[in-house]
Amino acid sequence: MIGHPFYILDEIDSTNNYAMQQVNSGQVTSGTAWFTSNQTAGKGTRGKQWLAQPGDISALTIALQPAMLPLSRQFMLSVAVALGTTDFFTSHAGDETIIKWPNDIYWRDRKAGGILIENVLRGNIWQYAIIGIGLNINQAAFPPELPNAVSLRQITGKTHQAANLAKELCTFLDKRIRQLQPANYETLLAEYTSRLFRWQQPGLYRKDGEIFEGIIRDVLPDGHLCLEKNGEILQLGFGEVEFIITR
């Protein structure tokens, strides 16, 4: 079960790094979660740093043995985690919570969090997924270099007990991960796409230095984004396109 056991760390550089060390030591059971409200060097996607303030939920990591999925279906784990995280945030912030492809959590057009999944492979065996989730919880304000960030506190006007929210998030994730059965793949992917930021709506994107207007038409089972540009469908992998967001 996700979040059992659940450890609270006083301070750590990165809960993903810590979880990876524990997995490599062979001392971890599937579903173990680590949380800290003081992460000093959090990790984002594609090598970016996740900037966290004390009281964030941004330092929650779960070690999962993904026995329910073949390696060829690894994007379905990302789908389940994104849906579970969105379910959780929606329960506090309301229905304007959405997913920005592939794994950012948005409220309206502002970033509330992100997901980073790192895999431990032994040959062709998918031994562990290290699931890191960062959500902005108690920040009252953000620096100018983060113009489109938003926190749960800003949305609700309330200060939250981050560790309790992290445990609650584990419950939402557990429910979604239990749905990862072959008969559910199509339904889960359809729900994921329907909850995407800019789903079937025109927006600005940048690819290879060119800014253009595109419309998200689909997401393939392997995670590729189908983006319509001038009547042509581009199939784009992670990191191949940038969303242009103006405020």
Q: What is the pLDDT of residues 78-117, one digit of tens each?
A: 999 999 999 999 999 999 999 999 999 999 999 999 999 9
Q: What letters, b where the CB count within 10 A reaches 16 and e where it falls short, cover 144-156?
A: eeeeebbbbbbbe
CA distance 217 to 179: 25
The answer on pLDDT for 122 being more than 90 is: no
CB 105 within 8 A of CB 124: no
Measured CA to CA, the distance from residue 69 to residue 1 in angstroms comes to: 16
pLDDT of 46 above 50:
no
Give the rounded percent of residues in the chain with a pLDDT score beyond 90.
76
pLDDT in tens, 138-179: 889 888 888 899 999 999 999 999 899 999 999 999 999 999
Q: pLDDT tens, 49-81?
A: 545 555 555 679 999 999 999 999 999 999 999
**Three-point CA angle 9, 13, 19, nearest 5°:** 65
Please name the helix (run of DSSP H) or strand (run of DSSP E) that holds residue 165, with its range, or none. Answer: helix 162-177
Q: Which two tokens stand for residue 205?
A: 């994107």
Residue 56 is predicted with a pLDDT of 53
Tell me the two tokens of residue 128. Answer: 């562990």
What is the greatest pairwise CA distance in the chain? 53
H-helix or E-strand spanning residue 241: none
Mean pLDDT over 193-208 rounds to 98
Name which residue leads in pLDDT, 37 or 124. 124
Rounded CA-CA distance 53/152 in Å is 13
> The tokens of 200 are what?
């079937």
Tell me the CA distances in angstroms from 148 to 18, 19, 45, 55, 160, one per residue in order: 29, 30, 17, 20, 21
Model pTM score:
0.92
On average, the pLDDT of the chain sits at 91
Mean pLDDT across the stretch 18-25? 94
Q: What percent of the chain has pLDDT over 70?
A: 91
Dihedral pair phi/psi, residue 119, rounded to 5°: -105, 145
- Annotate 34-86 with DSSP letters as a single string: EEES-BSSEE-GGGPEEP--TT-S-EEEEEE--TTS-GGGHHHHHHHHHHHHH
Q: pLDDT digit string (tens) for 220-237?
A: 999 999 999 999 999 999
Chain segment 205-222, per-residue pLDDT in tens: 999 999 999 999 999 999
